[in-house]
């Protein structure tokens, strides 16, 4: 027994090693992102805003244009490399699954953004042109891309920081959307 006690520090060290290795592996495969924060706006309505529409500058959009349906709000910009990666998946969500996506073009140039949509396809119902980043700030955005899931009341229910892909969608979004749909049906019925 006394002998075994001598190995205790080694055992503890091995456990710590396994824990570190596990965390690094989780960061590597995207299971854990130390930079992602819980949103301060969870279960709160989308903040008020009044901004032009990217596609039609004379149009003014407000938070009310986003209300009524379960939808995604996607923060993107042409200067953001991960947004390139994410874009084809957004196209797929919109065209194949019929997901409603509102875009927030964040601190970008309108000409570049419009060219991007022309070249890569446009998955968005409309795009809010947030040149100064004011809406981004009110949403607590720390960078692009970020995606918010809102329910039929226009309340924020999920915030995801980083590019969307199939795995993230199946893990985080799909189950919650099902729940939101049943909430919506209950409210209607």
Partner 1 sequence: MKSLLVLVLLLFSLPALAVIETYTFNNDVDQRRYQSFVEELRCPKCQNQNLSGSNSPIAADLRGELYRLINEGKSDTEIVQFMLDRYGDFILYRPRFTPQTAILWLAPAILLLSGLVVVVMVLRRRSNSDQLVDLSAAEQQRLQTLLDEDRSDA
Q: Which stretch binds partner 1 (CB under 8 A): 53-61, 62-70, 90-98, 138-146?
A: 138-146
The least CB distance from residue 105 to partner 1, in Å, is: 15
Q: What is the DSSP letter of 41?
A: T
| β partners of residue 98 | none
Q: How far is CA 184 from CA 45, 96, 145, 179, in A?
A: 16, 22, 27, 9
CB atoms under 10 Å from CB of 101, counted, come to: 20
Binding-residue pattern over the window 14 to 43 for partner 1, x denoting contact by CB under 8 A: --------------------xx-xxxxx--
Q: Does 143 bind partner 1 (CB under 8 A)?
A: yes
Please check whether residue 83 is in contact with residue 67, taking contact to mean a CB–CB distance below 8 angstroms. no
Give the Cα separation of 181 and 98 in Å (integer).
14
Q: Does 176 bind partner 1 (CB under 8 A)?
A: no
Binding-residue pattern over the window 118 to 137 for partner 1, x denoting contact by CB under 8 A: ---------------x---x
Give the Cα separation of 90 and 127 in Å (integer).
14
Give the Cα separation of 149 and 138 in Å (integer).
16
Binding-residue pattern over the window 44 to 83 for partner 1, x denoting contact by CB under 8 A: ----------------------------------------
Q: Does 109 bind partner 1 (CB under 8 A)?
A: no
Q: What is the total count of residues that contact partner 1 (CB under 8 A)?
A: 16
Binding site for partner 1 (CB under 8 A): 34-35, 37-41, 107, 133, 137-143
């Amino acid at each position: 027994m006394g002998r075994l006690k001598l190995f205790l520090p080694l055992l503890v060290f091995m456990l710590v090693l396994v824990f570190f290795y596990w965390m690094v592996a989780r960061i590597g495969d995207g299971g854990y992102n130390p930079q992602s924060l819980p949103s301060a706006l969870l279960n709160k309505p989308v903040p008020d805003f009044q901004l032009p529409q990217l596609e039609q500058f004379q149009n003014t959009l407000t938070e009310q244009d986003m209300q009524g349906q379960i939808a995604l709000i996607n923060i993107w910009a042409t200067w953001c490399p991960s947004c390139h990666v994410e874009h084809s998946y957004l196209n797929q969500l919109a065209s194949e699954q019929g997901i409603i996506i509102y875009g927030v073009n964040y601190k970008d140039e309108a000409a570049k953004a419009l060219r991007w949509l022309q070249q890569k396809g446009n998955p968005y119902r409309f795009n809010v042109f947030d040149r100064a980043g004011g809406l981004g700030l009110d949403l607590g955005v720390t960078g692009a891309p970020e995606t918010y899931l809102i329910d039929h009341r226009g309340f924020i229910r999920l915030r995801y920081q980083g590019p969307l892909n199939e795995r993230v969608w199946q893990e985080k979004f799909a189950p919650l959307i099902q729940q939101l749909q049943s909430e919506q049906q209950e409210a209607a019925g």
